[in-house]
Structure formats: C-alpha cells, structure tokens
C-alpha cells in the first residue's frame, strides 16, 4: 500500500546529485542563440527599424523584425482548445510586433553564435517610434476617447457575471447591517528560479522539435502549430525537468519563436534563454485587482449577501485574460454557499506587462477582498470572527448554488476548529488587554477560502495514462500530466503501485514529457493533475491488473478469478501469503511464450466531469512594531481539507511553499511601475524582494482528511490553495493589533506608514 | 583572449584554457559538463550557481574563471561518493527539501559549507536561516531545507527555536 505514505520522492536523488537535466542542460554543438530586441517605450508604433549594421556584425546569423513573421494572430494561454466560441482565448499576439504595448515589447529578434555577439548586435539596431501616451491604470485605459491598445477592443477584454440565491438588492435590503469596502491587490511575479527557456531544431524536413521549460507540453504543441500555420502533428514538444512555473509557464512564451527560427534557419538548433530581467517583465505577472464589495449580515451572525465587483488589469496582451477574473469568482462561490452572491468582473487592457496565470488564478485577489469584508462584518455585529465564519462557511451537504452539485466532501468547519485550537485563539484573546497602546502590539487573524480541483465545466478535463508490464515484471507508467516540481511523478507511482498491488519501488514513471509518445493531458495548472490523473491512472492500473491476472491464470492453470496481486507476486485471493508465481515469471511468459500472451499494457484516456471544491484556512499570530511599521509573524498555521493526503511530506511541502508565497504577497512583493512611462523599476531580485530564508517564519501545517469520492484515491486539489488565505489573515491580524484596516496589498512598511499616519498612530 | 588555469575540481586536477571573459559558471557547465551549476539570475542574487571555492560558498556566475587558478572547486557532482549521498544530500532527500530542484545543488553546497563550519556546535534555526540567506528557493518556503541542515549537524546538540521563546525545536 503506497497511498498516504511519505515514500521517497522519485526524483529527489537525481536533483540532489545534480544529475537531473533541465532544458539548459542539453548541449548541442553549434546551437545558435537568439534574443529579442525589446521596446524602450510602453506604448507606440515603430516608424522605422534598421537592422543592417546588426546583420553585418560577424557572428550574427540573422535578424528578423515584425516585417518577417507569419501574420497568424494567436492566443498564448495554456487552456485546452475550446469548441465553444465564447470560451475561446483571445488571439491578439504575433511573434513580433510593430505596435508597442508595454515597456519591453518584442519588435525584433537576433540570432547569433554567442551571447557576446548577440548583445552587441542588439545595440546596433536603430529604431524610431511614434509614441503614444502610456495607459498604465484601468482608469486611464477606460477614459472616454483613450487610444485602443488592441483595435476594436475598447480596452475591455471581457466582462461576465453570475448571481445565485435571492436577488442581491433585495437580500441587502433585508439584512440588519450593510457594509461596503474597496480592496486593491498588486502586480506580482512568479519568480520561478529557472527562467523561461526553450530551444528548437529539426531532424528532417517536416518536423520541428521544441524542448522547453513548460507546464503544458501538449497545449504548447497546438499553439506552436497555430502561430506558425503548421499542422499540429509536425510539432513535437519535449519537457525535461523544469525549475518551477507557478503559472508563468502555463503560457506559451518562447516556443513559437524558437520553432519559427529553426524553420527559417534550415533546421539548425536555436535557443532562447531569457534573463531574469526579461523574465520579470516579458513573460507573465499576476493580475492586479480592484474589488468593490458590499455585504449584508444579520445580527444573529447570518451572512445574507455578498456583492462582488472586480476590475482586473490584464496588461498589454490577453494571455489568460478575463478567464482569471471569471475563475476567481467561480472558485470562491463554494465558501459561503448559503448566501445570496452576485459576482461581476471586467478585465481591461493597459500598457503594463501581460498578466496570466499565477498560483491560484485570481482567487487570492477575490478571497482577500471577501475575507476583509467578512472580518468587518463580524466586528460590526460584535461576533467572534471565527464563530462568524463557522456559522456561514460551507458544510457537508451544501450545494454549489450555481451548478446544483452537492459537495461530496467538506472539512472546512473542522479546519477552522483545528486552527483555532492550534493558535490558542480563545486563550490569547482572553489573556491580552482590551486596548493595546505600546509601540509593539500583538494581533490574531483568520481567513478562509474555497478553491477547485480543476477547470470543469468551463474547460474539459482530460488525462491519459499508459501502464506497461516490463519483461522482468517491473512497471513503467507514462502519463500526460506534467511534473513541475510539485511531485506529480511520485504521486502517480504511488497510485499505480496501490492499485496494481506491486511495491512502490518497482514502478518507474517516465518524467520527461514528449508529445510524440506521451498520452494526452493538458498539463500542470488549476491544481488539477493529482485529481484528474487519479481517475486515469486508477482505471489503467485496474485494467492492467486484470490482464496480468488473466495471463497468470493461463500460466498457473488457476482460473475463475481466484488470483490477486500482492506485494508484486501473484497470490491466491483468499490467502495473500501464499505466492503462486512471481510477476516476473508471468511477464516473461507473456512476452516470450511462442503461442500465448503479448506485451501486457493498459491505456486509458479519461475525462473527469466533476470538480471537487477544496477548502482551508490560515490562522496567524503577529506583532506589529508601530513606529517601524513592521510586521513580525510569531506563529502561522494553514489547515487544509484536500481530501485524502496522498504523500504527507510532499503535501506539507506544497503548503510551506504556498504560505511563504502568500506571506510575501501580503507583506513584501510588488512590481513597481512608473505611471508616467510604464517602466518597471524592479525587474530583478535585488529590487523585487522575494523572501529569503530569514524572511519566512516556521510554518505550521495540518490536514483535515476527508474522502472525495469523485477522484481515484479520495484526493482533491492542494497545489495552489495554500497561497490564498495568508494575506487576508495577516491583514485581519494587523487590524486586530492596531485597529487600522489595510485594504491594499502589499502591506509593506511604506503602506503601513501611510495608513498608521492617517489613523493617528504616528 | 584565452589563458590557461590550473585548478582542482571535485578532487581532480584540471588544466583549462579559458576565455578571460568567461564566468566560472560557464566554464564548469560548458567545458566540464557540471550541469548542477544552475544559472538563475546571472547577477549574484539567487545563489542557484553556488559552488565552494576553497570551501567558501561563492556564486559562480559572478566569479571569473581565471580567478579559479590555483584554487579548489567543489560542486554537488563531487559530493556523493561511490553512489552514496553525502550527509547533507541525504538529509535533503529525507526531509522533503527538494521540489523543482533547480535551487537544490546550490543550496546543498551552501548547506555543506555551513555544516562543515558548524559541526559539533549548538546552532539555532535562525542561525541556519542567516547562514543560508544567500540562496533563494521559491517552492519550499525553506522550512524543510532548514530542517535538513539541522539534521546534518551533530544530532547530539539541540536546535533551539528563537521564534517560540527558546523552546526546543521539534521537526514536524
């Protein structure tokens, strides 16, 4: 039995010994390097570009500009192809652009022998621009008469809404108390340590091979085909080990360009390797949100209504565009399913870096606003904030009010109760003085969230698994689901071992994705993979097991379904200790007997048509140094209901990483933009501060295990959720400590100073 | 322009002709195939390229290859002997300190230097944090990495958690 055990992570040794190969670790003799010429304005049009001097520089292979590229507009978002026109991603990109839409836009590309020549050549290209006013904020881009960033868009990329329960105005009117608030979140970047990188080559006249650090190899294949106007079957995408993604690599960024370059250069290998500075501005960022909220509550603690109005800033290009704001509303619906909810969202273009998917896909923005106003509602009616949440959050037996689907598992109440006990909520609140006055004040905060286990029913959810019995009785598994550091390969091996009845270490999972041979799956996003892959792996393992037992029956002469597999041996079903024959002997017979058998394999492609809600909460105890405007976290706990925990150590690893990123989004990180020019001030790790070892406290983590019947092994999503609730919990604790509500992120000393000063604390 | 340097890499003597403009990172990766030395920022910000030069952790991206003349360099490739992981490597595997793995080789080298320097000493989690503050990881939140380093130090000595008022730290 492998599920639920912290087995040895299967790629850990490869990674600690430095043997794991990432995209940059495959060396090809004569490989060419390519680099973009990026615009030095945020909004405008190239009037003249002269590449002749660059082209003449020895070592330069070719220079391409916006004049030299295919005119197929394509969408970059890592979504499955949609058969529904209203769910199609917005096709607003070309490989290079004449129309500049953000500072750093890609107007030309140089291919050269080495980096030194490349840098020199970029400086030899002369560009003249007609400059337009940079529209950096949604207010600017929505102003009457503002120039359209994309023709015909009105600078609005999408708008949507839903309403559940009673009519929102009636519900608000019926509530004892109505509150309003406005909450803003910032532009962040993923900061995966491996920058975006890809290379391509051709090994015949037809097929393009692209090796890339991507979360979505199968989607990348299609989008490369679309961008280049080539049949998708001529593209092969290979994904080796990848050094983090967090959503920035759920987007097709370099792959179409390197494919185009090798196609133009006679199939020679060409690599693009973004610098950190390029990666920060020229890939994807998190959408900044501006959320207006209204809520109605009754004095008995009943949450009556939530009216959410979100304005999302997607920046220069659509990428995931309005999907992020749409999904954010959908995923938060499960948290308070008995209240009337109206959710409206609008997404706009501006001249800032393009926003895309980032861990939890809009949920951190919306949940921050929701948890802020929920806290205010609890305070207003004089109810303990934990009690208020306990009274109103999702319970087992609730339904998604929009889809009517019943929650098959829900442990949020238990999560809140567990967190309350862990942090010592009641004791600490009872022990401290009513009003704190000193320079250093202590506060407790709570926040909770719901999320989802995939994208269904907006997108289809497909996952493929192929399981092979090798000649020696060992097992090979191929899945289309993509290991990006979260531990997917290990989880898949556990699933296969569990259902087949073989020891975990006999199962090998092919980690490298290769779209020429791997089963189809759309990749690592939406915290979907363990959930949807479980349904494919479980069925494939069950089918292979039946085939093995059928053949074992022929080998042993024991028929009638009496056999089973236990610990890698064929046993009598009623006496597992009695080994009838080894798996190796059955495999050798199946492969090599002259008359019977064959290669025993099973392959399943399975569409999951459910989407289990997942839940959790954060409790934090912190100190605010008022004169220094500094927050010091003393204790923080995240408690999750993610169904059955497949691998406790790796699950905790997801929580630790997500909470650290959440603390950073709450207290430290923001991409700073010059509102006059659209220039990003902090496009590197010296100026954009992601937490170091000394900036993250010890993180407490617990699970409330439930069983989710719609997945293969009872599990639900866990990858993204831990990032969601730390920022609002910290905000609520700062309020508790100081009496000051901070309704914008990040809550840096700079932000706190502004609010403390206004509140008269300083 | 090239210059010949002599150095020791993972215990083996090497004579290398290097371009004077090349970083040690480039030479280790491209000439010697030591792919554990990862480039994350090329500016000394992230520590993914940390190697030990005369047992001191250094960002190989900032260190010119010619400066390595006469010095001894250690990368993670040299840390496991006869397929047996070093104490630090084994602790990283056991404690779940490895996720995407791109920062892992640099972290293992920085941790190795820290552990060798503090072997047998009483070290707190916060001291470990300060000792490894030059290496960035975006996956783990550092929790398991700190625990792995703690485990690599002499087990006879306690590790104190300053954050919780000097209580003895108990790994989760």
For residue range A511-546, what is the model confidence (pLDDT) as tens digits?
999 999 999 999 999 999 999 999 999 999 999 999
Put simply, the chain A residues between 698 and 717 with a CB less than 8 A from any chain B CB are 698-701
Out of A194, A660, A685, the one facing B141 most closely (by C-beta) is A660
Q: Is A621 on the interface with B (CB under 8 A)?
A: no
The confidence score (pLDDT) of residue A435 equals 86
Percent of chain A with pLDDT over 90: 97
Q: How many residues does chain A have?
A: 762
Domain B87-168: CATH superfamily is [2Fe-2S]-binding domain (1.10.150.120)
Cβ–Cβ gap A193/B138 under 8 Å? yes
Cβ–Cβ gap A9/B96 under 8 Å? yes
d(CA B45, CA A689): 10
Chain A partners of B101 at a C-beta cutoff of 8 Å?
11, 14-16, 20, 241, 243, 485
Protein fold of A289-456+610-758: Aldehyde Oxidoreductase; domain 4 (3.30.365)
The confidence score (pLDDT) of residue B155 equals 56
A684: cis peptide before it, omega within 30°?
A: no
Q: How far is A659 from chain B (nearest CA, A)?
A: 7
pLDDT in tens, chain B (172 residues): 999 999 999 999 999 999 999 999 999 999 999 999 999 999 999 999 999 999 999 999 999 999 999 999 999 999 999 989 999 999 999 999 999 999 999 999 999 999 999 988 889 999 999 999 999 999 999 999 999 999 998 654 444 444 444 333 333 3
Tokens of residue A91, six digits:
């096709």
d(CA B126, CA B61): 27
The candidate with the shortest Cα–Cα distance to A350, out of A397, A391, A300, A313, is: A313
CATH class of A13-132+196-273: alpha beta
pLDDT for A576 beyond 50 = yes
d(CA A142, CA A290): 14
Mean of pLDDT values over A33-57: 98
The confidence score (pLDDT) of residue A302 equals 98
- Residue span(s) of chain A under CATH 3.90.1170.50 come to 13-132+196-273
**Residue of B86, B125, B139 to mutate when probing chain A, most A C-beta within 10 A:** B139
pLDDT for A392 beyond 80 = yes
Query: What are the percentages of helix, strand and coil residues in chain B, rounded to 5?
Result: 35, 20, 45
Mean of pLDDT values over A669-689: 97
Out of B35, B39, B41, the one facing A685 most closely (by C-beta) is B41
Average pLDDT, chain A: 97
Give one DSSP letter per residue of B78-122, joined into a string.
Answer: GTSBTTBPPHHHHHHHHTT--SS-SSHHHHHHHHHHHHHHHTTS-
Reply yes or no on domain A462-607 having CATH 3.30.365.10.
Answer: yes
pLDDT for A291 beyond 70 = yes
The confidence score (pLDDT) of residue B162 equals 45
Using CA coordinates, name the residue in chain B closest to A691.
B136
The confidence score (pLDDT) of residue A323 equals 96
The confidence score (pLDDT) of residue B154 equals 65
pLDDT for A489 beyond 90 = yes
**Residue of A31, A193, A691 to mutate when probing chain B, most B C-beta within 10 A:** A193
Chain A partners of B164 at a C-beta cutoff of 8 Å?
634-635, 698
Q: Can you tell me the ipTM of this complex?
A: 0.96
Using CA coordinates, name the residue in chain B closest to A719.
B139
pLDDT for A401 beyond 70 = yes
Using CA coordinates, name the residue in chain B closest to A19.
B36
The confidence score (pLDDT) of residue B159 equals 43
Tens of pLDDT, residue by residue over A728-756, are: 999 999 999 999 999 999 999 999 999 99
Chain B partners of A193 at a C-beta cutoff of 8 Å?
38, 40, 46, 48, 100, 102-103, 136-138
Cβ–Cβ gap A485/B172 under 8 Å? no
The tokens 């079903």 sit on which residue? A573
Put simply, the chain A residues between 671 and 700 with a CB less than 8 A from any chain B CB are 684-686, 690-694, 696-700
The confidence score (pLDDT) of residue A616 equals 98
Mean of pLDDT values over A618-629: 98
- Residue span(s) of chain A under CATH 3.30.365.10 come to 289-456+610-758, 462-607
SS (H, E, C) A686-731: CCCCCCCHHHCCCCEEEECCCCCCCCCCCECCCCCHHHCCHHHHHH
Tens of pLDDT, residue by residue over A232-286, are: 999 999 999 999 999 999 999 999 999 999 999 999 999 999 999 999 999 999 9
Tens of pLDDT, residue by residue over A681-722, are: 999 999 999 999 999 999 999 999 999 999 999 999 999 999
d(CA B59, CA B50): 5
d(CA B57, CA B106): 9
The confidence score (pLDDT) of residue A278 equals 98
Cβ–Cβ gap B101/A243 under 8 Å? yes
Using CA coordinates, name the residue in chain A closest to B137.
A193
Q: Is A6 on the interface with B (CB under 8 A)?
A: yes
Please state the domain extents for chain B: 2-78, 87-168
Chain B partners of A631 at a C-beta cutoff of 8 Å?
none
CB pairs under 8 A between A and B: 182
**Looking at domain B2-78, which of 3.40.50.300, 3.40.50.970, 3.40.190.10, 3.10.20.30 is its CATH number?**
3.10.20.30
């Amino acid at each position: 039995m492998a599920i639920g055990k912290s087995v040895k992570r299967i790629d850990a040794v490869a990674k600690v010994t430095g043997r794991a190969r990432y995209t940059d670790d495959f060396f090809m003799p004569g490989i060419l390097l390519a680099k973009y010429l990026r615009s030095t304005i945020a909004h405008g049009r190239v009037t003249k570009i002269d590449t002749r001097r660059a082209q003449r520089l020895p070592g330069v292979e070719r220079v391409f500009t916006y004049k030299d590229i295919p005119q197929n507009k394509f969408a970059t978002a890592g979504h499955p192809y949609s058969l529904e026109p209203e769910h199609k991603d917005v096709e607003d990109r070309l490989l290079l652009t004449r129309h500049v839409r953000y500072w750093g836009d890609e107007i030309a590309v140089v291919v050269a022998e080495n980096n030194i020549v490349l840098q020199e050549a970029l400086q030899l290209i002369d560009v003249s621009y007609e400059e337009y006013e940079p529209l950096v904020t949604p207010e600017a881009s929505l102003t009457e008469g503002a120039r359209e960033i994309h023709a015909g868009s009105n600078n609005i990329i999408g708008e949507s809404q839903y309403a559940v329960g009673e009519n929102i105005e009636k519900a608000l009117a019926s509530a004892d108390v109505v509150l309003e608030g406005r909450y803003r979140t910032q532009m962040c970047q993923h900061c995966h340590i491996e920058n975006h990188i890809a290379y391509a080559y051709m090994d015949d006249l037809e097929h393009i091979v692209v090796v890339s650090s991507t979360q979505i190899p199968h989607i990348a294949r299609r989008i490369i085909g679309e961008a280049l106007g080539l049949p998708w079957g001529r593209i092969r995408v290979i994904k080796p080990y990848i050094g983090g993604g967090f959503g920035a690599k759920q987007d097709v960024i370099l792959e179409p360009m390197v494919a185009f370059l090798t196609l133009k250069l006679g199939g020679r290998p060409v690599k693009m390797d973004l610098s950190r500075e390029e990666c920060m501005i020229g890939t994807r960022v998190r959408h900044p949100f501006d959320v207006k909220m209204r809520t109605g509550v009754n004095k008995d603690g009943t949450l009556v209504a939530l009216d959410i109005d979100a304005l999302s800033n997607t920046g220069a290009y659509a990428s995931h565009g309005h999907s992020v704001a749409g999904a954010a509303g959908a995923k938060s619906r499960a948290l308070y399913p008995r209240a009337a909810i109206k959710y409206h969202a609008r997404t706009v273009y501006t001249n800032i870096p393009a926003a895309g998917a980032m861990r939890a896909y809009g949920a951190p923005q919306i949940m921050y606003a929701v948890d802020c106003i929920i806290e205010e509602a609890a305070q207003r009616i004089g109810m303990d904030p934990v009690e208020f949440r306990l009274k109103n959050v999702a319970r087992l037996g609730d339904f998604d009010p929009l889809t009517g689907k019943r929650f098959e598992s829900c442990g949020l109440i238990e999560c809140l109760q567990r967190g309350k006990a862990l942090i010592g909520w009641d004791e600490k609140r009872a022990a401290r003085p009513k009003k704190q006055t000193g320079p250093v004040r202590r506060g407790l905060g709570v926040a909770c969230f719901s999320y989802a286990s995939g994208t269904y029913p907006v997108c289809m959810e497909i996952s493929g698994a192929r399981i092979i019995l090798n000649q020696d009785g060992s097992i090979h598994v191929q899945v289309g689901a993509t290991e990006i550091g979260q531990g997917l390969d290990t989880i898949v091996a556990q699933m296969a071992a569990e259902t087949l009845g073989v020891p975990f270490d006999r199962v090998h999972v092919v980690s490298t994705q290769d779209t020429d041979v791997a089963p189809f799956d759309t990749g690592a996003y939406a915290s979907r993979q363990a959930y949807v892959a479980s349904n494919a792996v479980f069925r494939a393992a069950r089918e292979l097991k039946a085939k093995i037992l059928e053949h074992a029956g022929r080998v042993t002469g024991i028929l009638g379904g009496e056999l089973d597999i236990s610990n890698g041996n064929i046993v009598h079903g009623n006496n597992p200790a009695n080994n009838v024959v080894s798996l190796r002997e059955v495999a050798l017979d199946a492969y090599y007997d002259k008359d019977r058998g064959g290669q025993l394999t099973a392959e399943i492609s399975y569409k999951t048509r459910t989407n289990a809600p997942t839940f959790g909460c954060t409790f934090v105890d912190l100190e605010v140094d008022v004169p220094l405007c500094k927050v010091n976290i003393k204790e923080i706990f995240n408690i999750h209901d993610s169904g059955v925990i497949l691998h406790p150590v790796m699950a905790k690893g997801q929580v630790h990483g997500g909470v650290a990123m959440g603390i950073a989004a709450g207290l430290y990180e923001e991409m700073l933009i010059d509102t006059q020019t659209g220039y990003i001030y902090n496009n590197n790790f010296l100026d954009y501060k992601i937490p170091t070892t000394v900036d993250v406290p010890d993180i407490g983590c617990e699970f409330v295990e439930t069983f989710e019947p719609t997945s293969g092994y009872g599990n639900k999503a866990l990858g993204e959720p831990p990032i969601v609730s730390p920022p609002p919990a910290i905000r609520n604790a700062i309020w508790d400590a100081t009496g000051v509500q901070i309704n914008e992120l990040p809550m840096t000393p700079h932000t706190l100073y502004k609010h403390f000063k206004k509140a008269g604390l300083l | 322009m090239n210059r010949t340097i002599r150095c020791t890499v993972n215990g083996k003597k090497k004579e290398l002709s290097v371009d004077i403009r090349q970083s040690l990172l480039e030479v280790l990766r491209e000439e010697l195939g030591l792919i554990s030395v990862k480039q994350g920022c090329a500016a000394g910000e992230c520590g993914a390229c940390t190697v030990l030069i005369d047992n001191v952790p250094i960002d190989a991206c900032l260190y010119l290859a010619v400066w390595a003349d006469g010095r001894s360099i250690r990368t993670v490739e040299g840390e496991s002997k006869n397929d047996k992981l070093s104490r630090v490597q084994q602790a990283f595997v056991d404690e779940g300190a490895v996720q995407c793995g791109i920062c892992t080789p640099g972290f293992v080298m920085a941790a190795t230097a820290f552990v060798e320097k503090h072997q047998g000493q009483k070290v707190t989690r916060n001291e470990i944090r300060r000792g490894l503050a030059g290496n960035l990881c975006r996956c783990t939140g550092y929790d398991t990495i700190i625990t792995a380093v703690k485990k690599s130090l002499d087990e006879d000595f306690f590790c104190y958690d300053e954050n919780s008022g000097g209580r003895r730290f108990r790994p989760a």
